A and B are shown apart, each in its own frame.
Chain A
Amino acid sequence: MVIRDFLKRVSSSKLGVCGLVTFLLCVLVALFAPVLAPYDPMMKHYDAANRLEKLKPPSERHWLGTTILGRDVFSQLIWGVRPALIIGLCTALGTIVIGVNIGLISGYYGGWLDNLLMRITDIFMAVPFLPFIIVILSLTGKSIWTITLAMMIILWRSTARVIRAQVLTLRQRPFVDAARISGAGNLKIIYREIAPNIMPIALVNVAFNLAWAIITEASIGFLGFGDPEVLSWGTIIYQAFASEMSYKAWWWVVPPGAAIMILVTAVYFIGRAYEEMINPRLKSW
Chain B
Amino acid sequence: MGKYIVKRVLFMILTFYVLATLMFFLFRMLPGDPTMTVISAALNPKAQEEMKRQFGLDKPVHEQYLVYLKNIALVDFGYSFQHTRKVSDMISGRMLNTVLLILPSMIAAYALGIFLGAWIAWKRGGKLEIGTVIASTAFQSAPVFWLGMLAIFVFSVHLDIFPIGHIVSPGSHHGKSPLAVYFSLDFLHHLALPFIVNTLYNLCFPLLLMRSSMLETFGEDFIELCKLKGLRERRIIYKHAMRNSFLPIATTIPLILGWAVAGSVVIETVFSWPGLGLLMVEAVQRSDYPVVQACFLLIAVLTILGNFAADLLYGILDPRVVYD
Q: With an 8 A cutoff between CB atoms, is A52 at the interface?
A: no
Judge whether B31 and A141 touch: CB under 8 Å.
yes
Q: In the complex, how many angstroms separate the beta carbon of B149 from the nearest chain A beta carbon?
A: 6
Judge whether A138 and B150 touch: CB under 8 Å.
no
Given contacts A223-B265, A253-B146, contact A268 B292 (CB under 8 A): no
Judge whether B137 and A123 touch: CB under 8 Å.
no
What per-residue 1/0 map shows which CB atoms of A269-285 lie under 8 Å from chain B?
Answer: 10010000000011011
Q: With an 8 A cutoff between CB atoms, is A48 at the interface?
A: no
A269–B135 Cα distance when bound, in Å, is: 12
Given contacts A126-B19, A127-B19, A253-B146, contact A247 B157 (CB under 8 A): yes
Q: Top 10 A-B pairs ranked by shortest CB distance?
A: A257-B146, A264-B141, A139-B30, A128-B262, A261-B142, A265-B141, A129-B262, A128-B299, A139-B32, A284-B124
Partner of B303, one of A128, A246, A269: A128
CB neighbours of B304 from chain A (8 A): 126
**Interface residues of A, dominant DSSP:** helix
**Interface residues of B, dominant DSSP:** helix
Most buried by A among B147, B152, B284: B284
Report A's interface with B, CB cutoff 8 A. Answer: 15, 119, 122-123, 125-132, 134-136, 138-141, 158, 211, 215, 218-219, 222-225, 234, 237, 241, 246-247, 250, 253-254, 256-257, 260-265, 267-269, 272, 281-282, 284-285
Judge whether B32 and A127 touch: CB under 8 Å.
no
11 contacting pairs across A/B (C-beta < 8 A):
A131-B280, A135-B284, A140-B32, A218-B143, A223-B266, A225-B284, A237-B149, A247-B153, A254-B150, A257-B149, A264-B142
CB neighbours of A219 from chain B (8 A): 143-145, 263, 266
Judge whether B284 and A138 touch: CB under 8 Å.
yes
Q: With an 8 A cutoff between CB atoms, is B186 at the interface?
A: no
Most buried by A among B137, B144, B285: B137
CB neighbours of B145 from chain A (8 A): 219, 222, 237
CB neighbours of B269 from chain A (8 A): 222-223
Q: With an 8 A cutoff between CB atoms, is B290 at the interface?
A: no
Report B's interface with A, CB cutoff 8 A. Answer: 11, 14-16, 18-19, 23, 26-27, 30-32, 34, 124-125, 129-130, 133-134, 137-138, 140-147, 149-150, 152-153, 157, 164, 212, 215-216, 219, 254-255, 258-259, 261-263, 265-266, 269-270, 277, 280-281, 284-285, 287, 292, 295-296, 299-300, 303-304, 307
Judge whether B265 and A130 touch: CB under 8 Å.
yes
Additional pairs, 12, CB under 8 Å, beyond known A130-B262, A138-B287: A126-B258, A126-B303, A126-B307, A134-B280, A138-B32, A140-B31, A219-B266, A246-B149, A246-B153, A257-B146, A257-B147, A257-B149
